[in-house]
Each structure stands twice: as structure tokens, then as C-alpha cells.
Amino acid sequence: MENSGTRLAGKVAIVTGAGSRTPIDGVGRATSILFTQQGAKVLLVDRNLENAEKTLAVIEEEGGEASIFVGDVSQNDDCQAMAEAAVERYGELHILFNSAAIGGAGTV
């Protein structure tokens, strides 16, 4: 695995917004990849399965471990279900990285 490390070995993370709508990696995708490079198992959360699958492909190509949960963080039921999915799949949960957002062109 490229840039492999052990800072997060044995940790389980949820990263929301783990896909990217653009050809350039977004924060969620980049964080997911970095977490797995550092040894974490990551639940990739995104509303768009195709975008999450692209992130998963990079992680698996590098030898990391991750899985996908399709959900909308604006929905309470989805948030509860993603936490339950992480614990069900990996046995525990240590890190929650909230990166899901919809942005538009223009200034803030």
C-alpha cells in the first residue's frame, strides 16, 4: 500500500462524503484513502454509489480495507443505520469524519 503507515491500525472510521462528484479528489475521498493508508478500516458513506465505488476501487488497489454504505446524512434514520453498519461490519467504531456537503459555484 502506498504511503502505508500504522497510526490508525486497528481503528474503524466512518467517512461521509467519501465519493467525489469531480474528477479531482474531494476531501472525503482523500481522507478515506489516507485513513486506509494509515491502517484504518473505513465505511465509505455517500449518496451516490458510483462515486463511492470509485473511492473503494482506489483503496482496494492499494491494499486497504473499506466498504460502502449508501445514505443521506441529512436523514436521521440513515445516520443511525450507518453507525450500526460500521459496528456490524467491523465490530466497533472509533472515528467519524463528516465531509458530506453540497457546494455550488460562487463565493461564501
- What per-residue confidence (pLDDT) applies to 66? 99
Q: What is the mean pLDDT of the chain?
A: 91
What per-residue confidence (pLDDT) applies to 20?
Answer: 83
| 4 lies in some domain | no
With pLDDT > 90 as the criterion, what percentage of the chain qualifies? 81
The total number of structural domains that make up the chain:
1
- Which single residue is written with the C-alpha cell 453498519? 85
The answer to whether position 6 is within a domain reads: no
Considering the entire predicted model, what is its pTM?
Answer: 0.89
Handedness of CA 47, 13, 40, 28 (dihedral sign): positive
Each residue's pLDDT tens digit, 15-63: 999 998 776 779 999 999 999 999 999 999 999 999 999 999 999 999 9
Would residue 35 count as lying in a domain? yes
Q: Flag whether 2 is in a domain.
A: no
Residue 107 belongs to some domain of the structure: no
CATH number, residue 23: 3.40.50.720
Domain containing 55: what range? 12-97
Q: What whole-number percentage of the chain has pLDDT above 70?
A: 90
54 assigned to some structural domain = yes
Q: Is position 105 within any domain?
A: no
- Long-range contacts of range 7-11, CB-CB < 8 Å, 24 or more positions apart? 7/38, 7/39, 8/35, 8/38, 8/39, 8/40, 8/95, 9/38, 9/39, 9/40, 10/39, 11/35, 11/39, 11/40, 11/41, 11/94, 11/95
Judge whether 85 lies within some domain.
Answer: yes
